Amino acid sequence: MNFMAHINLSIMYSFTGNFSQAKEVLNNQWLLLYCGILVFAIWDSYRLAIECNKLSVLADREYAPIMPAALGAFSINALEKRNPRLAIAWSILLPGLGQLYNAETIKAVFLLLIGAFIIIHSHALQAIGYTAVGDFHQAHAIINWQWLINIPSFFVFTVWDAYQSSVLSNQLFDIEQAQFFRNKYQNPDFKRPAFYRGG
């Protein structure tokens, strides 16, 4: 919908002060459909986050067990400490590698494919090649701005997501370890606090 509405192209023209051309390239039908889906996605994300937060509070209060390892058809996941800075570095190198470092295989493959698709359709690598040899006119001519303007937000999202996933995974690891030691090694006669958050 974003592509069919030419939103990115319109943004590019707006940034360069070409407001009349920005209005001309917009497809109003696709733009209105895009706005409706965007509003629904924001509302649904907020609603789902509230529900997940409620489940998280219940899990904390009930000391819900955490599986330290999971074997699946697509990956083998085990809780371990991960370095958030390393996740950022891999994501900067190539979107999706940070997710692969965090053992999020399906998300990593999806982001790698989408990233490659965006980069290929924007002709960014060819433009970099022309820029490297000093042919700036050809670099500007070959760029597909509709696709190129997706690259910064896509890169920032993958970096943020890899960082956030590694931090949350580390927190879950700490909670699981605390549960394990409390259940296996704690003296049963020891008086526990009334409310335990797993830290």
pLDDT tens digits along 70-111: 777 666 677 889 999 999 999 999 999 999 999 888 899 999
Query: pTM here?
Result: 0.74
Between CA 87 and CA 165 the distance in angstroms is: 9
Per-residue burial over 160-196, b if 16 or more Cβ lie within 10 Å, else e, is ebbbebbeebbeebebbebbeeeeeeeeeeeeeeeee
Positions in the chain whose pLDDT score sits under 70: 73-76, 186-188, 190-199
Residue 172: what residue type?
Answer: L
Specify whether the CB–CB gap between 154 and 95 falls below 8 A.
Answer: yes
For 14-50, give the DSSP string. HHTT-HHHHHHH--HHHHHHHHHHHHHHHHHHHHHHH
- Give the pLDDT of residue 197: 56
Question: Based on C-alpha coordinates, what's the Rg of the chain?
Answer: 23
- Give the pLDDT of residue 74: 66
- Give the pLDDT of residue 15: 86
